[in-house]
Amino acid sequence: MSPQLTDQMKLDIIELDLNIALTAVVIIVSVTAILVLGTLIWFDAKMIFSFFSDFQTVIKMDQRLLLRVIIAEDDISKLTLIKRPQSIEEFKVQLVDKLSLQYDFKLQYEDQDSNNALCNLTEITDLPERATVKIIPLDQYAPRFIELFKTKKGTVDQKLRELMQHMSWMTPNVTVLRCVVLKGIPILLGDDSSEFYKTCSDTERDEALECITVGVLTVVSEDSPHEGQSSVDLQPISTAIILEGGIVMDHIKNLPQAVCPLFGLTYALHLDYPKCMANTLNFIQTVMLGLVKKNLPPKLLTLKNSLLG
């Protein structure tokens, strides 16, 4: 015989059923809320990811460099770099890779603060997003000059051989190569560089200064051997630029680093080139630097054709 349920027991059972149902509802609502929240979070994460991706794309677009690169007067390239380089050296590496350059160079750019005049690029941050850059070759012609030096005969050959002997045990020193070329060009063109490139010991400095109107004075230790015009002095005490008989710059590292500003000062100040070096300096100005187009004398034209041929 089944036990009879009392009214209290029936109420307890109903309450239990309600609690179970309520718990089930709470669980269902909670799970649903979690699913909905998860879905919203997923969509939000996707939107955030998409936003940051778009933002990064914008940043990358802002990092692009749109360049107009002047390699030579008749050779100008358009170039886009996806990422802005962090240094000038990195920038030069990218230019060498993109443009297949086979020589060392420095860079100038059109400075908007100077009415787009060309200025030396010394800080990569100075380069605007859209820039015109000019490549200034440093050793573009050096290998060809050495080849030309080796083809000469007679007295010219002897002088050039005395000059090139320094390369046999110092190569691949770039400074030696530049010194040899700078001192070899006057020999090819029949100039007398003895009063333009002057080397003396430290005890003869004042006396040597009296002999130079325009040129480069290299001062070496009295114990250091120097062989006149065929010398290549890699560790001078000082190297000075002389203009109109006075020192305008001193303590320059070496001869090639002195010739560049000397040439620039002479050209910028409209000074006459010394007659003893007129052929050489006019050749550097017209052919190697491409400044001021003019008809070349036969001797300079012959060397130009041999150099570029």
CA atoms within 13 A on the CB side of 145: 22
Which pLDDT does position 14 carry in this prediction?
66
In this predicted structure, the answer to whether residue 83 has a pLDDT above a threshold of 50 is yes
Between 295 and 186, the more confident residue is: 186
Question: What integer is the mean pLDDT of 245-271?
Answer: 86
Q: What is the largest CA-CA distance in the chain?
A: 142
Q: How confident is the model at residue 40 (pLDDT cuts 50, 70, 90)?
A: low
Which pLDDT does position 56 carry in this prediction?
47
Which pLDDT does position 3 carry in this prediction?
56
The percent of residues in the chain predicted with pLDDT above 90, rounded, is: 28
Which pLDDT does position 55 carry in this prediction?
42
For the chain, the domains span: 16-60, 65-137, 148-308
CA 294 to chain centre: 30
d(CA 290, CA 284): 8
Between 228 and 279, the more confident residue is: 279
Report cis status (omega within 30 of 0) of the bond before 172. yes
| Structure confidence by residue, pLDDT tens digits, 163-197 | 888 775 444 577 888 889 999 999 999 999 988 99
pTM of the model: 0.59
| Structure confidence by residue, pLDDT tens digits, 267-291 | 778 888 899 999 999 998 888 877 7
Q: Encode 228-244: b = buried (16+ Cβ within 10 Å), e = exposed.
A: ebbbbbbebeebbbbbe
Q: How confident is the model at residue 119 (pLDDT cuts 50, 70, 90)?
A: confident
d(CA 58, CA 298): 57
In this predicted structure, the answer to whether residue 248 has a pLDDT above a threshold of 50 is yes
Give me the residue label for tokens 């001078």.
Answer: 236
d(CA 136, CA 71): 8
Which pLDDT does position 61 carry in this prediction?
39
**DSSP per-residue codes, 114-170:** GTTEEEE---GGGS-SEEEEEEEESSSSHHHHHHHHHH--HHHHHHHHHHHTTHHHH
The CATH code belonging to domain 65-137 is 3.10.20.90
